[in-house]
Amino acid sequence: MRVVLTREAGMNDSLRWLLPPESQVVEVPLTHTKYLGDESILEQVQSVVGMKTVAITSARSVRALSGPLRDFSHLPIYCVGEATAKSLRESGIEPAWVGTNGAAELANEIPSGPVLFVGAKENREELAEALARRTIELHSVSSYETLPVELTEGEIVEIGSADVLFIGAPSAWSVAEQFVGEKTVIVAKGETTAQVVKVSHPETIVGWGSETKEILAELAKSNN
């Protein structure tokens, strides 16, 4: 089974435990990160007061939380993913809660607001909408932006021939979509990304957890 992992270099190793041992694995990064400067981040919180909780969904956000936003790091921090939790702990910050199923689950666990969400410039609306339904105020701060990668011909071929393609965000899907084969199974990180993918590619698995590991094991057997 040919598997293409598409996160940035150095970020795909945390996904390999999901793959059957006989998988042929290739890495094709679809996006790269541009971190915003401290001044730009601080400008966004000049008038922010009274925050009760911090929410982050990516390890990339830890850089800001341990730097220009360190004044907020004493608050209870709710995060998504073990990689994010690990990065927090390595920065001396202990998360109050660690989830695995994306922003919707995160929104249900946050006890009260206002909430400071530290994330990408192209923030998704899932968390904001879920918190709004609970009448919890959210203030978003952009600490980085995700930019598309221009693929080589060889990388395009790899994507087109993949049996399984991991997609971590809508921005990654926008790069890969036109090259993906009809029979390729997409493994989307969360429900928001899956909804975007399913518009043009219904064959999509949601989540990067143990259930997906079992599904991929069965898929590998059927491919043999």
The encoded tokens of residue 62 equal: 């830890």
Host domain of residue 46: 33-146
Are 74 and 126 in a shared domain?
yes
Question: In this structure, are strands 138-148 and 31-35 parallel, antiparallel, or unpaired?
Answer: antiparallel
Do 131 and 159 lie in a common domain? no
> Residue 53 and residue 204: Cα distance in Å, rounded?
33
Report the pLDDT averaged over residues 160-173.
94
Tell whether 83 and 132 lie within a shared domain.
yes
Residue pair 195/170 in contact (Cβ under 8 Å)? The answer is: no
User: What CATH number is associated with residue 168?
Assistant: 3.40.50.2300
Describe the strand order of the beta sheet including 164-167 as a list of residue ranges.
24-27, 2-5, 164-167, 185-188, 204-206
Does 155 score more than 70 pLDDT? yes
Which of 51-65, 119-133, 148-162 has the least mean pLDDT?
119-133
CA distance 89 to 211: 26
- Read off the pLDDT of residues 98-149 as tens digits, 9 standing for 90 and up: 987 777 788 899 999 999 999 988 766 778 888 999 999 999 999 999 999 9
Which of 86-90, 91-95, 122-126 is predicted with the least confidence, judged by mean pLDDT?
122-126
Averaged pLDDT, 30-48: 94
Burial of 96 (0-12, 13-18, 19+ CB in 10 A): middle
- Rounded Cα–Cα distance for residues 103 and 87 (Å): 18
- CATH number for the domain including 87? 3.40.50.10090
Q: Does 130 share its domain with 159?
A: no
Judge whether residue 192 has pLDDT over 90. Answer: no
- Counting the structural domains of the chain, the total is 2
Q: Are 56 and 121 found together in one domain?
A: yes
197, pLDDT greater than 70: yes
Report the distance separating Cα 37 and Cα 66, nearest Å.
14
With contact defined as beta carbons under 8 Å apart, do 137 and 114 qualify? yes
Name the band, by pLDDT with cuts 50, 70 and 90, for residue 40: very high
139 in the same domain as 45: yes
Check whether residue 73 and residue 109 sit in a common domain: yes
The pLDDT value given to residue 124: 63
Q: What percent of the chain has pLDDT over 70?
A: 98
